[in-house]
Chains A and B, each alone.
Chain A
């Protein structure tokens, strides 16, 4: 394919061959999988969200020519390569345990009680290899199994719930649900409480900022922007 450069002369654009759900397309090199699919004519109704690697909506698996590995990545973050066979997995069916955070306790059996299947983990490490966030997924499942909620929360902190680990696990574990419960338990029962937060919430409830809010509600966008740009930024604490 060719397109005109500024000077008006024709310039060749480098193209690569990719296979989307088995069908061959030629797409410009350098595009992300997500953009390449759109270039090929697909329209996203599901399976795309932030387009910035944060929402986990665009899970994709692919193989490359001459490589037996099944790769897993985010479509919005991964560049197409020549000879890539790919399909999106925008959703992973997984059961989420129902719990009331105010009623459950954080002890060494909480995670395994809600998700007993974590005891089926055989330490194959497939989940870790699938994770586009490069988390130690197996290690957070293992930490969950031995009741180390804090460790599971810490290791899974950057999980974006893309579901790729759960799609690959031979023990049929829904890793990200386990991890989310771990982080919730950690936040509610284990992490040291941020006292300034409690104080601020109290101030808000007592109406300390009501006047200011009212004033801001009446401002124009330009005024708001000015105010925002002139805001005080607290120095980061060490």
Chain B
């Protein structure tokens, strides 16, 4: 099966390991993620300024590209891109006034009608758990805390799963032969863009989230978002400076666990 694939800038740069592992893991379960012929930075946050539609152009233009390439579904792995594209698509379906402005502004493009559906790889996985189980060569055998963060779940209209208590990542981990720990902070905010301007907020969030996962017996944290990944993984160094007793945890993308369990060798 082939699906449209929107990588987003981060999967081409800082989160290359996410892209590489995801493409390989999906290939193994019979899904080819076909990168859009042309795509643009999603805008990195879904702008809540409803009177400035300029910030919605990029997302809509990407959806037009997906349609042009003949995709009914567009897979967006980065949580931020997923959230931005999905919310923009929701607007395309529901806000006629905004869309008539956007369509008029982009007069070089065909009008967009909201007909592409934006999905997250975890939603694809949900329907493929049997294939995934069958593809496991080296069951994981460790204990994981599945961390969702905010952007896959909020606002609830775009949630990939039950927005207060998601479980799709847990089901994936179990299918891969790992076990999951109870993790009440799985949808706490990681501090997000505060990492650029207010590091303390991120240090604080990191400390609470990782300590909570450890206390519950996790050997590692699993996530899907490059920004959560950065805030939870790279910021552990900073946390140690503030809390000398802090013992960190490794942080993985869910797709890294998939390639590991499938026994796929990654280069580099």
Interface residue ranges, A against B (CB under 8 Å): 108-109, 119, 121-125, 129, 138-139, 142, 145-148, 170
Contact = CB atoms under 8 A, between A and B. Distances in A.
Interface in B12-52: 12-13, 38-41, 43
B9 A146 contact: yes
Contact of B57 (A119, A123, A139): A123
A192 to B, nearest CB: 22
Interface of B: 9, 12-13, 38-41, 43, 54-55, 57-58, 61, 105-106, 108
Contact of B38 (A119, A139, A145, A170): A139
A138 B40 contact: yes
Contacts of A170: 54
Given A123-B41, A125-B108, A129-B108, A145 B55 contact: no
B40 A142 contact: yes
A-side interface mostly: loop
Contacts of B58: 121-123
Given A121-B58, A122-B43, 15 more contacts: A109-B13, A119-B41, A121-B40, A122-B58, A123-B40, A123-B41, A123-B57, A123-B61, A125-B108, A138-B40, A142-B39, A142-B40, A142-B41, A145-B9, A147-B13
Nearest to A147: B13
B9 A122 contact: no
B136 to A, nearest CB: 33
Contacts of A139: 38
B41 A121 contact: yes
A190 to B, nearest CB: 16
A145 B43 CA distance: 12
17 contacts: A109-B13, A122-B54, A122-B55, A123-B40, A124-B105, A125-B61, A125-B106, A139-B38, A142-B41, A145-B41, A146-B9, A146-B12, A147-B9, A147-B12, A147-B13, A148-B12, A170-B54
Nearest to B60: A123
Contacts of B57: 122-124
Interface centre among B39, B40, B55, B61 (most CB of A within 10 A): B40
Contacts of A108: 12-13
